[in-house]
Structure 1
Amino acid sequence: MAAAARWAAPIMGILVVLLLLPFAPAPASAATPTRSPPPSASSAVFLLSGDVYPTGHYYVTMNIGDPAKPYFLDVDTGSDLTWLQCDAPCQSCNKVPHPLYRPTKNKLVPCANSVCTALHNGLTPTKKCTSTTQQQCDYQIKYTDKASSLGVLVTDSFSLPLRNKSNISPSLSFGCGYDQQVGTNGAVQATTDGLLGLGRGSVSLLSQLKQQGITKNVLGHCLSTSGGGFLFFGDDMVPTSRVTWVPMARSSSGNYYSPGTASLYFDRRSLGGKPMEVVFDSGSTYTYFTAQPYQATVSAIKGSLSKSLRQVSDPSLPLCWKGQKAFKSVFDVKKDFKSLQLSFGKNAVMEIPPENYLVVTKNGNVCLGILDGSTTKLNFNIIGDITLQDQMVIYDNERVQLGWIRGSCSRSPKSLTASFP
């Protein structure tokens, strides 16, 4: 399946079955990696690659192992478990950018380990070890877009570039996936080697870094409309002013990052309906509204368009329009569309300008990047990458709050902090 279609669905773990399958890692290396001491408070900062269209997701290069080797991981705040495609040996893997990760036997996480218990407890249905002597922690996780990863939990070194220009290589636990399925075909070419799970659970990389005293349990990302952007762990890059903060709410549908319920507006006019339960998910390319707000949004947009735009069919997305000449970017057509707003209560508004809900396809058409969540049986609303672009989004688990502030998300390292106070 093409990348844009593959990643159009939200990437959030919703179903897990635990199985014990054969696993044959390489013999343990004689060298034992040394653990770096925790640094003084500092953020780990990474540049991002990718885009909403045509890549379909944003990803980070993580250097893993000893010696460290690079892997591309899809940045996903909608799930907890980080995993790499893994030669253990691999039963069903996609074609990936780098050679498959090869674990050694001494990297296996025993089933009795607390991180395995946390993984099992955080998944549905909850499973437990069959015995206290079981030498590996098995998992199988399925996502709402039918993708899945089956494997075992391992521990290895992650090389983290800190903002103070030092490096640290903590040992972190992640999934070694030896059976991946993407859509209906597990052998498709993939842009990434795996997934970076940054959810709220205790097995997420962010939680593990907090447990080891390396960074605070704070995460931020800035996704650029022109591609790329940056990602950080820790709190010393969080702006000190102008951030819109809302309390982190408990989602009724899972342990997701939710700013609570919001009222929806189009061009500052209420679209009616009951307040929407909202979840932020960087693992979803597009934004998904449930049936009522989706239909209200489509009706409002159609009712405001000029006659110069004509609705057409485009294989990229369900609802598209053609202009008098082919569009080259969203900014060519921005003036023909109005902004949406999500109001989370007093003084907490997320502005959604046209460039945060529209895509210009390779055919030169402009398409709506807000999709009907009822087609994937969602009962809550997902704010995906397209709407999170060109604003720093902060997931502060220390203070249990979510924040956002608009600004440039350029790849230039000098601009990482220049755009924000």
Structure 2
Amino acid sequence: MATNTYFFLTFSLFSFLCNFPVILGAKSDNHRLLRVRPLPLPTEACSSKEYKGRGLKIVHRYGPCSPFDGEKATPIQILQQDQSRVNWLQARLTHNSSRLDVQDTTLPARPGESLNTGNYIVTVGFGTPKTDMTIVFDTGSSLTWIQCQPCNGGDGCYKQQDPIFNPAESSSYLQLSCDSAECSQLSLPTGCSSSTCAYLITYGDGSQSLGFLSRDTLTLSSDIFTNFQFGCAQQSRGLFGKTAGLLGLGRRPVSLVSQTATKFGRVFSYCLPSVPSSTGYLTFGADAIKPGIKFTPLITKSNGPSFYFLNLIGINVGGQAVAIPTSTFESPGTIIDSGTVISRLPSSAYAALRSAFRQAMSKYTPATSPISLFDTCYELGGAEDPGVPKVVLRFEGDVDVNAGYSGTIRQVSETVGCLAFAANDGDGDFTIIGNSQQLTLDVVYDVAGGRLGFGPGGCR
């Protein structure tokens, strides 16, 4: 399987090189139908607040604050796409891929579903003069890429909302050669077109980005970085929505975190809004570390050098520790990921959490979920219920993270809310801390200091 996939990727890359020129410039078991509305829930109005610190505004791509006209998704669609991402992450980690952002396993491609690289978007500038591009940010990827002309739909690029970046209109744009140090360090399937370095990224659902490794000026709010390395995509296959590309916040040398290390010291933080109708922020440098942050060690593992590993040691429900041996989380390990929606736990850990949560929720009426991902659901209505027990994730270093209501209950219809965790296929899969359990928190990545921090009361 791995060998066949490699030859497929190589063939796709060189087919691409030969065809593109170098750029010069249901029904439930009890038969009750649930009405599932498109996001946003519970309000349709944008309550965006101006962020006054150094950083970028974070917007939910399907919410009313999004600049994307008409792009909507139901909770069911989002969680179906979320499973595709989890499959991709597990495959990358399990198969120890040495090629950045490329997996060695072919997963079934399902028409109408995307990789779902993330539900949260930011706007940054590329080129001189700058052209603003709205892209998803992803801690699970390292290479930043955007779509570039001359691709123009069809078999070239998908339809994005922003105008496709035109390198010929940027005075600072440069394509990198095959013999450049940057090309040799990319750790991606690469090829040459007139001595120009080309890259190929393939995601778990069959989505692809193919293009040229390039340099140009990157603008992050008021901060300007010259000679920023990124992928200038000439062919993009898959449904990436209306975004212009991806901002890679992983740990590889090509990531934004590494390339801006001189100025920002490999430190960044974000706060994800609790509902799609509000906004958060993405901050870099010293401004990212605020008072009240508690840190847990960051772990590095050879099978996932781009990912952020940390040690989850336990879970509390309603103030009581759930009976889960710490060893359950130790192997193969835990990552935190901005693009995964629902946290995935080892199957035995999830079973213990589910049992404790059901016991604490005995006064509520159970409900059948319209989404097979969830098996612990209740009639709650659309408003936050203070009677729902707190779920606290416990990390190494005496760091306790309250998941909050939005990280405990996932609203899947107008009346039904479900426990916002899911089980892996077994205890041998990686634990993934998803973004539902990160909402409203200051999540601080001090990569240089080897630590990751959590603080309450973010997004203010």
Given that residues 354 and 376 in structure 2 are in contact (C-alpha distance below 8 angstroms), is that contact kept between their aligned partners in structure 1?
no
- Distance in 2 (CA, whole Å) between partners of 1:398 and 1:366 is 39
**Deviation, structure 1 residue 218:** 0.6
Structure 1 runs (4+) deviating above 4 angstroms are 14-18, 51-56, 127-130
The residue aligned with 1:272 is 324
Q: Which deviates the most, 194-203 or 18-27?
A: 18-27
- Distance in 2 (CA, whole Å) between partners of 1:339 and 1:398 is 32
The residue aligned with 2:299 is 249
Which of 318, 327, 341 is 2:381 aligned to? 327
Which of 199, 202, 215 is 1:142 aligned to? 202
- Distance in 2 (CA, whole Å) between partners of 1:103 and 1:189 is 21
Which of 207, 219, 239 is 1:159 aligned to? 219
- 1:293-348 Cα offsets, whole Å, 9 max, x none, are 2222223222322353222132495346352xx7224x1x342x322222223422
Given that residues 284 and 384 in structure 1 are in contact (C-alpha distance below 8 angstroms), is that contact kept between their aligned partners in structure 2?
yes
Q: Is the aligned partner of 1:179 residue 2:229?
A: no
Task: Report the AA paired with residue 323 of structure 2.
Answer: L
The residue aligned with 1:318 is 374
The residue aligned with 1:100 is 164
TM-score normalised per structure 1? 0.75
The residue aligned with 1:292 is 348
Task: Report the AA paired with residue 354 of structure 1.
Answer: Y
Given that residues 345 and 422 in structure 2 are in contact (C-alpha distance below 8 angstroms), is that contact kept between their aligned partners in structure 1?
yes
Paired positions, count: 358
**Deviation, structure 1 residue 93:** 3.0
- Distance in 2 (CA, whole Å) between partners of 1:287 and 1:60 is 23
Task: Report the AA paired with residue 327 of structure 1.
Answer: G
Unpaired segments ≥5 residues, structure 1: 1-13, 29-42, 410-414, 416-421
Identity within the alignment, %: 26
Task: Report the AA paired with residue 123 of structure 2.
Answer: T
Q: Is the aligned partner of 1:50 residue 2:112?
A: no
The residue aligned with 1:36 is none
Task: Report the AA paired with residue 214 of structure 1.
Answer: K
**Deviation, structure 1 residue 168:** 2.4
- 1:57-83 Cα offsets, whole Å, 9 max, x none, are 111011212222221111111110111
Q: Secondary structure at the match of 1:355?
A: coil
- Distance in 2 (CA, whole Å) between partners of 1:16 and 1:195 is 23
Q: Given the superposition, is the C-alpha separation of residues 26 and 148 from structure 1 closer, same or farther in structure 2, using an over 3 Å criterion?
A: closer
Given that residues 317 and 367 in structure 1 are in contact (C-alpha distance below 8 angstroms), is that contact kept between their aligned partners in structure 2?
no
Q: Given the superposition, is the C-alpha separation of residues 360 and 16 from structure 1 closer, same or farther in structure 2, using an over 3 Å criterion?
A: farther
Task: Report the AA paired with residue 270 of structure 1.
Answer: V
- 1:375-398 Cα offsets, whole Å, 9 max, x none, are 9x9821111111111111111122
Q: Is the aligned partner of 1:75 residue 2:137?
A: yes
The residue aligned with 1:27 is 24
Q: Is the aligned partner of 1:305 residue 2:361?
A: yes
TM-score normalised per structure 2? 0.70
- 1:16-65 Cα offsets, whole Å, 9 max, x none, are 9452323325532xxxxxxxxxxxxxx85111110798766111011212
The residue aligned with 1:197 is 248
**Deviation, structure 1 residue 201:** 0.6
Unpaired segments ≥5 residues, structure 2: 1-5, 26-52, 64-71, 79-118
Q: Given the superposition, is the C-alpha separation of residues 219 and 361 from structure 1 closer, same or farther in structure 2, using an over 3 Å criterion?
A: same
